[in-house]
A and B are shown apart, each in its own frame.
Chain A
């Protein structure tokens, strides 16, 4: 795995980020929600390593802790997307015919909306909150994942080992779970790692629009949104969350590309 340059860089970027996210809550950080109006828009200093925001809150603590929400968002939405998309894609590709038509036409309906807009709509129905935002993005991912899984399943299902299984009288469930799934796992893994990065991006976008993570707890997207009004007061305010966010997404993207090469997967980019 480390022979692949992309994968190596991806892991190199993700490793520290994930480590930070995991250990941040137990680090002796300043209180991320403690305001100090007198000390707003401070530049980086020994006391505030990353500077402070418009309320004088410590940006170092907020940035380190803000990753939690974003990462959770990426993982959570991807997990939901996989949970729904993989079975739909498998069934669609394997059974073909009317099952395929029905499922895919249903999925197409959701593909008629831009991702962010669909997430916004779903949130409009359920109300903006972290849980619903994750669910919404998971639902947005579902048809896209289903399509990829379906594509791989279609090319696998004509392999004669599937026929061999049918010839000995295996049940459909067995064929789907034990014969097909292991053989489409590579594209699923690749897609998942790219989706996580994408999920983080959408998640922060929703927070940016005020529909995801709720204040005052720190989140990268929300921090960037807040910083927007104070750009000229302090560029640091936006820089730190923006940088951390980008590095994380970059890490997942490169890991995904690396995995694609390692696992020898062909996925259409769309």
Chain B
């Protein structure tokens, strides 16, 4: 096994361990959530007998380790349990929601990559110039204004009485209407992208500035290379590595961190589902949605680390 292969194996194993830890946390948290599941399913006025029956059906009278074991094995065979609230298989509720969030996240991610990185590079090259100052000022504002405020502003300006350009809420599947899908997904994804663009832009800028001041860039310039080659070949490649890993992390948080934006735009994604599940004490749904979000996070972390190690030949392949 090569050094990189070994690193990959150790790092993946470690991610699996973390995920396992996450299942424990999720399971534990749902156990100590206040409220009794049976009452949640049947409402407050039920007989002892009814509770017994429900507990029996949901497997809640078994010992905890057994419940945990059943839950875990269920995840792997696709039996994710029944939603308390909808009385439907959790799988059928959570997966479509997750996919919708993924669409949102991907569009936002594309925006982040296409706007944040190039602007960051430009700001670094023209450091201290007019362009740089404006870009920095704008990113400061983007970072300070909460996403939901932007969202509401967008709705106010573009989704309402001022200009009716986009619908302000809901979701249309692309199979129904591509333009409808795009219209519904654009505002929330732009809103999502804004803050992240600011982050990515700042990171790209500062890393590239550091690289442009490094000794090996000096070496490159003192070889007589023109500024374009110096930038593209010698600086960008190293300067962009931290950004690439940051992007991977951002994708992870886009997949899970959209609660507020989904809420503002009434977008039926995993974020709103999770909040709903918390409010309704819909434990099976809550468990799975959190687990999926955390998995997206952990996998994004894994990708970020592995990419970093892969891209930067200097890194020693340490343990996890």
* A residues neighboring B (CB under 8 Å): 105, 108-109, 111-117, 120-121, 124-125, 127, 197, 201, 204-205, 208-209, 221, 224, 227-228, 231-232, 235, 238, 242, 245-247, 249-250, 253-254, 268-270
Determine whether the beta carbon of B152 is less than 8 Å from that of A228.
yes
Q: Are A246 and B249 in contact (CB under 8 A)?
A: no
Are the C-beta atoms of A228 and B290 separated by less than 8 Å?
no
Q: Does chain A have a CB within 8 A of B160?
A: yes
B254 to chain A, nearest CB (A): 10
Evaluate whether A124 and B278 lie within 8 angstroms (CB atoms) in the complex, with A112-B22, A231-B160, A270-B249 already known.
yes
Closest approach, in angstroms, between the C-beta of A14 and any C-beta of chain B?
12
CB A95 to nearest CB in B, in angstroms, measures 17
Q: In the bound complex, do residue B246 and residue A269 qualify as a contact, i.e. CB atoms below 8 Å apart?
A: yes
Report B-chain residues with C-beta under 8 Å of the C-beta of A112.
Answer: 18-19, 21-22, 294, 297-298, 301
* 8 A Cβ contacts from B13-47 to A: 17-19, 21-22, 25, 29, 32-34
Q: How far is the CA of A235 from the CA of B286 in the complex (A)?
A: 35
Query: Contact: B155 with A246, CB < 8 Å?
Result: no
Asked whether, in the complex, the Cβ of B290 is within 8 Å of the Cβ of A121, the reply is yes
20 residue pairs A–B, Cβ–Cβ below 8 Å = A109-B18, A111-B301, A112-B22, A113-B22, A113-B293, A114-B259, A117-B256, A201-B146, A204-B146, A205-B148, A208-B148, A209-B263, A224-B152, A235-B156, A238-B149, A246-B141, A246-B149, A249-B143, A249-B146, A270-B249
Check B33 against A270 for contact (C-beta < 8 Å): no
Partner of B25, one of A109, A208, A209, A249: A109
> Is the Cβ of B18 less than 8 Å from the Cβ of A108?
yes
Which of B33, B141, B146, B301 is the one whose CB lies under 8 Å from A125? B33
Q: Do the beta carbons of A109 and B21 come within 8 Å of each other?
A: yes
The answer to whether B140 and A120 have CB atoms under 8 Å apart is no
Residue of A nearest to B260 (CB): A205
- Looking at the assembled complex, report how far the CB atom of B133 sits from the nearest CB atom of chain A, in whole angstroms: 10
Q: B212 CB to closest chain A CB, in angstroms?
A: 16
C-alpha gap A227/B206 in the complex (Å): 38
- Residues of B within 8 Å of A232, CB to CB, are 156, 160-161
Q: Are A120 and B278 in contact (CB under 8 A)?
A: yes
The contact of B293 among A117, A205, A254, by CB within 8 Å, is A117
Give B residues with C-beta under 8 Å from A.
Answer: 17-19, 21-22, 25, 29, 32-34, 140-141, 143-146, 148-149, 152-153, 155-156, 160-161, 199, 202-203, 206, 242, 246, 249, 253, 256-257, 259-260, 263-264, 274-275, 278, 286, 290, 293-294, 297-298, 301
Task: Name the one of A116, A125, A246, A247 contacting B260, with C-beta atoms under 8 angstroms.
Answer: A116
Question: Are A120 and B259 within 8 A (Cβ)?
Answer: yes
Q: Distance in Å from the Cβ of A7 to the closest Cβ of chain B?
A: 13
Q: Return the chain B residue nearest A106 by Cβ.
A: B21
* Complex alpha-carbon distance, A101 and B87, angstroms: 43
Instruction: Check B149 against A242 for contact (C-beta < 8 Å).
Output: yes
Q: Could you tell me the distance between the alpha carbons of A227 and B264 in the complex, rounded to whole angstroms?
A: 12
Known: A109-B21, A114-B257. 9 other contacts (CB 8 A): A105-B17, A112-B297, A113-B297, A114-B297, A116-B257, A121-B278, A246-B146, A249-B143, A270-B246
Would you give the shortest CB distance from B12 to chain A, in whole angstroms?
14
Pairwise interchain contact B29-A125, C-beta atoms closer than 8 A: yes
Residues of B within 8 A of A125 (CB): 29, 32-34
Asked if residues A116 and B259 are in contact (CB atoms below 8 Å), the reply is yes
Question: 5 tightest A-B contacts by CB?
Answer: A250-B144, A249-B144, A114-B257, A242-B149, A246-B145
**Across the interface, which residues of B come within 8 angstroms of A268, CB to CB?**
242
Assembly CA distance A245 to B33 (angstroms)? 32
Tell which of B144, B260, B286 has the most Cβ of chain A within 10 Å.
Answer: B144
Q: Give bound CA distance, A202 to B82, whole Å.
A: 32
Provided the pairs A113-B294, A114-B293, A117-B256 are in contact, do residues A124 and B152 lie with their beta carbons within 8 angstroms? no
In the assembled complex, the Cα of A115 lies from the Cα of B256 at a distance in Å of 10
B residues within 8 A CB of A235?
Answer: 156
Q: Which residue of B lies closest to A254 (CB)?
A: B140
List residues of chain A with CB within 8 A of the CB of B141: 246, 250
User: Which residues of chain A come closer than 8 Å to B32, judged between CB atoms?
Assistant: 125
- Residues of A within 8 Å of B275, CB to CB, are 120, 209
Determine how close the nearest CB of chain B comes to the CB of A265; give it in whole angstroms. 13
Given A121-B29, A269-B203, A231 contacting B290 (CB threshold 8 A):
no
Question: Smallest CB-CB separation from A121: which chain B residue?
Answer: B29
Q: Which residues of A contact B144 (CB under 8 A)?
A: 197, 246-247, 249-250, 253
- Which B residues lie within 8 Å of A238 (CB)? 149, 152-153, 156
Query: Which residues of the partner chain B approach A250 to less than 8 Å between Cβ atoms?
Result: 140-141, 143-144
Residues of chain B contacted by A121 (CB below 8 angstroms):
29, 278, 290
Distance A160 CA – B246 CA, assembled complex (angstroms): 33
Give the most central of A124, A197, A268: most B CB within 10 Å. A124
Q: Compute how far the CA of A124 lies from the CA of B144 in the bound complex, rounded to whole angstroms.
A: 27
Bound: A165/B132 CA distance, A: 46
CB-contact partner of A127 in B34, B145, B203, B206, under 8 A? B34
How far apart are the CA atoms of A231 and B157 in the complex, in Å? Answer: 10
Residue of A nearest to B155 (CB): A231
Q: Tell me the smallest distance from the CB of A98 to a CB of chain B, in Å.
A: 13
Contacts of A117 in B (CB 8 A): 256-257, 259, 274, 290, 293
